[in-house]
Amino acid sequence: MSPDRYVSTRGRAPEVDFVEALLRGIAPDGGLYMPAAWPVLPADAAASGQTYAAIARAAMVPYLGTALPDGALDRALAKLVAGFETAETTPMVRLEDDLWMLELFHGPTAAFKDLAMQLAASLADEALAASGERLTLVTATSGDTGAAAVNAFANKARIDLIVLHPLDRVSPIQRRQMTTIDADNVLNLAIEGDFDDCQRLVKGLLADETLRERGRFSSVNSINWARLAGQIPYYVSAVAQMAAQGETRPPRFVVPTGNFGDAFAGVAARRMGLPVAGFVAAVNSNDALARAINDGIYARKAAVETASVSMDVQAPSNFERLVFEASGRNPAATRDLFETFAATGSVTLPTDLLAAIRAEVSAVSIDEATTRTEIAHAHSAWGQVVCPHTAVALAAARALPAIDGPTVVLATAHPAKFGRDVGDVLGFAPEPCRVIRDLGDRPERMTVIAGTLEAALDAVRGFGSQTASASRQ
Ligand SMILES: N[C@@H](CCOP(=O)(O)O)C(=O)O
């Protein structure tokens, strides 16, 4: 069993290497790829004083094996860190003695998604240049993933990118980050529906045989293992940064959660040997994950609109990876559970599975009023202007019982991406960072379509002609 081989959570697909997992996105049996074994972090991986690139290299090399050209990861990491505005890439702020905030929003679209998306784009580019193939990517977004994907994949010669966002349910800045980029290889579709409709359409597009003639077809949502691999390093970096300040007790991480990809990357880091006291998934009123973990019933409900829009997710795709891992990597049990969920919208988790899930992660749901109160509290108590997603996690963290160790809250997006909601609470608009100021007032390009597979198929078939593709090579 090797960490550079990938198995499907549903057990009915052949093993693949990293490049295949990246370029396929989802396994042919409908499952998600998982490394066949967990690699072990080098003993000094989280020692203080290392650069982000060095930490990321150590954490990610075992997952890539020899699937990519020599030096591909180093080139991708060099480009990644050059695109960030802070020397530490993911700096930390100590809010209180035992409460820290890990800032993941200093990249080109001011959200944590940049950390993995920039790497995925560089690595996909290298893989396709080596094989001579073309790739079409489809991606569902509730705001941040789409922006990060458009920035990372715009004008890549061998790649077309189609982004589906729920019409009028992303923030104006998030929408403009997607729609104002000047790139013929990007198609923005605004779906009449919610994020879960977008996610359902992406799965439908990926399963459609008639689109195969376009070449390879994949997704850069966090169903793609490459997205998770690129999110593992910042957990290691957090432990290293705290060690540099004399804090060596294992931390508890509180992760604002939508699709559970960010949190599962943390679970992976712990599996690799990172000392972690626990994980808490902090969700907004879209609480399917919290209900599953706390009540033992995983059940879909209609999504509600919240200020933390990127977390307006009712069927978190990476819950499948958690179930696979917590079931002792049992593909039959995982398959049964998610096939039943797909058919009925509700499953009761078996008692032993639920206990194993709870050993990995706990979950807290934070309502809108508390989120607003927390935005105000972060400003009055610590002088921090935080985005609604970060506020959800801070509120969850402050409600938790104390532990003998630090609690680290992941700050996932810059507050200016959500200026209206944050400004509404604080009475002033958050200061935009450079990448948001640079958006300017360029015209927007997007197509509004109904939330049906037929409408999505029509839009995709009409996009990215061979002629246009050839002219970009
Ligand atoms: N939070 C997301 C939803 C998609 O998440 P992903 O991590 O699976 O790409 C967003 O901002 O779009």
Site to substitute for ligand 1 among 177, 259, 286, 410, most atoms within 8 A of C-beta: 259
The interface pTM score, or ipTM, of the predicted complex is 0.98
Domain with CATH 3.40.50.1100 in the chain: 87-108+231-426, 113-224+443-473
Q: Whose CA is nearest to atom 5 of ligand 1?
A: 259
For the CA of 262, the nearest atom of ligand 1: 7
Residue 362: which H helix or E strand, with range?
strand 362-365
For the CA of 146, the nearest atom of ligand 1: 12
Q: What's the Cα-to-Cα distance from 173 to each of 1, 388, 431, rounded to whole Å?
A: 44, 14, 13
CA of 310 to the centre of ligand 1 (A): 6
Cβ of 103 below 6 Å from ligand 1: no
| pLDDT tens for the 473 residues of the chain, in order | 899 999 999 999 999 999 999 999 999 999 999 999 999 999 999 888 899 999 999 999 999 999 999 999 999 999 999 999 999 999 999 999 999 999 999 999 999 999 999 999 999 999 999 999 999 999 999 999 999 999 999 999 999 999 999 999 999 999 999 999 999 999 999 999 999 899 999 989 998 888 877 889 999 999 999 999 999 999 999 999 999 999 999 999 999 999 999 999 999 999 999 999 999 999 999 999 999 999 999 999 998 999 999 999 989 999 999 999 999 999 999 999 999 999 999 999 999 999 999 999 999 999 999 999 999 999 999 999 999 999 999 999 999 999 999 999 999 999 999 999 999 999 999 999 999 999 988 999 999 999 999 999 999 998 974 433 333 32
Q: Whose CA is nearest to atom 12 of ligand 1?
A: 141
Q: What pTM value is reported for the model? A: 0.95
Query: Hunting for tokens 């790739």 — which residue is that?
Result: 135
- Please return the burial class of 364, using the count of CB atoms within 10 Å of its CB with bins 0-12, 13-18 and 19+: buried
- Do the Cβ atoms of 254 and 393 come closer than 8 Å? yes
Cβ of 145 below 6 Å from ligand 1: yes
Which of the four CATH numbers 3.40.50.720, 3.30.930.10, 3.30.70.600, 3.40.50.1100 does domain 113-224+443-473 have?
3.40.50.1100
- Do the Cβ atoms of 260 and 318 come closer than 8 Å? yes
Cβ of 388 below 6 Å from ligand 1: no
Alpha helices, DSSP H only, in 218-260?
A: 225-229, 233-244
DSSP 429-468: PPPPPHHHHTTTTPPP--EEEESSHHHHHHHHHTSS-HHH
- Do the Cβ atoms of 148 and 114 come closer than 8 Å? yes
Residue 466 has a pLDDT of: 43
CA proximity to 339, closest of 318, 366, 320: 320
Q: What is the CATH number of domain 87-108+231-426?
A: 3.40.50.1100
Cβ of 261 below 6 Å from ligand 1: yes
